[in-house]
Structure 1
Amino acid sequence: MSDPVIFTIDIHPAGDNPPDGGWASTVHRVEADAPTLRVTDLGASRGDGVFETFGVIAGHPQSVAAHLARLANSATLLELPAPNEEQWREAIRIAAATLPTEVQCGLKLVLTRGIEGTDRPTGWIVASVAGGDFAERRKGIRVVTLDRGYPSDIARRAPWLLAGAKTLSYAVNMAAQREARRRGADDAIFVSSDGYVMEAPTSTVIIRRGDVFLTPRTDIGILPGTSQLALFDFYRAAGLKAEEAVIPVAGLADADGLWLVSSVRLAAPIVQLDGATVTHDRDMTDRMNAALLARDA
Structure 2
Amino acid sequence: MRLLVLGAGALGGYFGGRALERGLDATFLVRPRRAEQLARDGLRVESPLGDIARPVTTTDRAGPGFDVVLLTCKAYDLDDALAAIRAAVEAGAAVLPILNGMAHLDRLNAAFGRERVWGGLAKCAATLTKDGVVKHLGDWHWLIFGEQDGRMDGRAAALAAALGTSKGLEAEAVPDIQRRMWEKLVHLGTVAAGTVLMRANVGEIVRAGGRDFLVTILERNAAIAAANGHAMTPAFMEGYRAMFSDPDSPYTASMLRDLESGGRTEAEHILAWLAEAARQAGVDDGIHAMAVLHARAYDQRRAAGRL
TM-score computed with the length of structure 1 as normaliser: 0.29
Larger helix share, 1 or 2: 2
Structure with bigger RCO (C-alpha 8 Å, 6+ apart): 1
